[in-house]
Amino acid sequence: MISLCLYFKQKNNVVYIMSFDNNLRLIKRMASELPSGQSLIVLYEPDTEAGATDLEAFGITTYQFEEGLSFAFKLLPIIMSSRLVFCDNYYPFLGGLVHSSGLKIIQLWHANGAIKKFGWADPMTAKRSKSDQHRFQSVYNQFDEYVVASKTMGRVFENSYHVPFERMQMLGYPRSDRFFKADWQTHAQSRVYVVAPELKDKRVILYAPTYRDGLAFTPPADLLEAITVDPAAEVVVKLHPLLKNKEAELAAENLKSGSNRIHFYNQLSTSDLLSVTNTLITDYSSVAFDYSLLPNAHSMLFFMFDLAEYQKNPGIQSDLLNWLPSKPILTSAELAAAIKQNAKTDFTNFNQHWNTYNDGQATKRVIDRYIENR
């Protein structure tokens, strides 16, 4: 079925396959910069429908996709007949594509860096069947180039995907550009304060752990007590959308305790909340690589209460302790003490390691390489 797409005449269209809606500015810029006669088409997963609606309002053609017959007959020909395809994730269907010489596939990953392992670096991959492993590698091999923000992330892809380092393009992550823009910071803060005026002029502590795919998220019973140890601070809990049940449990526990300093703002994005955060508490989440770029970033605490288990599955980068800007915190007591101390985190080495090419100009470099110069 896929081979039928070879009969479609190669066009100058650009396709962006979207499973995260954190690169909308880049997509709009691409559409604006395309030469006359070319068009940008966005294929999006259902979870990013709100972002797709925004792009449609901008005049960009979008199609929701889920793999199946409709995808094979309607959307696959669009991909096969395009000159450029940008991806922000791993998409299994890529492994079956006939990759023509006129098509270039670019991996624009959804995060600046990686604490947890993936691909071949994930210990579970070695336990998969040979056919599964072959299928994974067939997808990894389809990417002609990988846009990265550091040599460190380039090495992560090299090791995780078993692809040549020469494919890495040190352009920076376009999605990070906004963190360098004063107007974005001002507007983000305004959006937050409209919804949450109680956060203004306060020390804001944001707890934003990563989603544990296939793993239980069971924080210590005294977590809420620990993160509210500073009586002058307002605390925001932002869990992954797939952890709504756990968030409801924490909210109920907070209500039972009578505390009014822990907040859950589902209508606010994590990025907007970062703009008013003084202390970020996270674990293995890529949000750490974003927060470290913001001028309001005072301290970052890594609460890794399940570190021993997480090291086994899915695993963490082996040199973690060499570049983590603060020591991993394993217990609620240690977390409370660190919050009380409120020591400033030095992000210098961390950013040099992971955000080397993030300077607010990544979007321009990506446009120059893939859009204007083509």
- DSSP letter (8 states) at residue 64: E
Compute the distance between CA of residue 340 and CA of residue 47 in angstroms, rounded to an integer: 38
Query: Could you tell me where the DSSP H helices lie in 258-331?
Result: 270-274, 287-291, 307-312, 320-323
Look at residue 10 in the predicted model and tell me its pLDDT.
Answer: 54
Look at residue 100 in the predicted model and tell me its pLDDT.
Answer: 87
Compute the distance between CA of residue 15 and CA of residue 271 in angstroms, rounded to an integer: 25
291, 358 Cβ separation under 8 angstroms: no
Look at residue 5 in the predicted model and tell me its pLDDT.
Answer: 42
275, 236 Cβ separation under 8 angstroms: no
Look at residue 1 in the predicted model and tell me its pLDDT.
Answer: 40
Compute the distance between CA of residue 143 and CA of residue 231 in angstroms, rounded to an integer: 50
This prediction has a pTM of 0.91
Radius of gyration for the chain, computed over Cα atoms and rounded to the nearest angstrom: 21
Look at residue 254 in the predicted model and tell me its pLDDT.
Answer: 77
* Full pLDDT tens readout for the chain, 374 residues: 444 444 445 567 899 999 999 999 999 999 999 988 889 999 999 999 999 999 999 999 999 998 777 888 889 899 999 999 999 999 999 998 888 888 999 999 999 999 999 999 999 999 999 999 999 999 999 999 999 999 999 999 999 999 999 999 999 999 999 999 999 999 999 999 999 999 999 999 999 999 887 677 888 999 999 999 999 999 999 988 777 778 888 888 877 777 778 999 999 999 999 999 999 999 999 999 999 999 999 999 999 999 999 998 899 998 998 999 999 999 999 999 999 999 999 999 999 999 999 999 999 999 999 997 55
Compute the distance between CA of residue 354 and CA of residue 323 in angstroms, rounded to an integer: 9
If you count them, how many residues does the chain have? 374
**CA-closest candidate to residue 78, choices 88, 65, 89, 59:** 65
Compute the distance between CA of residue 114 and CA of residue 156 in angstroms, rounded to an integer: 8
**CA-closest candidate to residue 99, choices 140, 65, 159, 39:** 140
Tokens found for residue 311: 């090291």
User: Is residue 138 exposed (0-12), middle (13-18) or buried (19+ Cβ within 10 Å)?
Assistant: middle
296, 277 Cβ separation under 8 angstroms: yes
Look at residue 9 in the predicted model and tell me its pLDDT.
Answer: 54
CA distances from 252 to 93, 256, 296 (A): 41, 6, 31
Tokens found for residue 57: 């309002």
Phi, psi of 125 (to 5 degrees): -65, -40
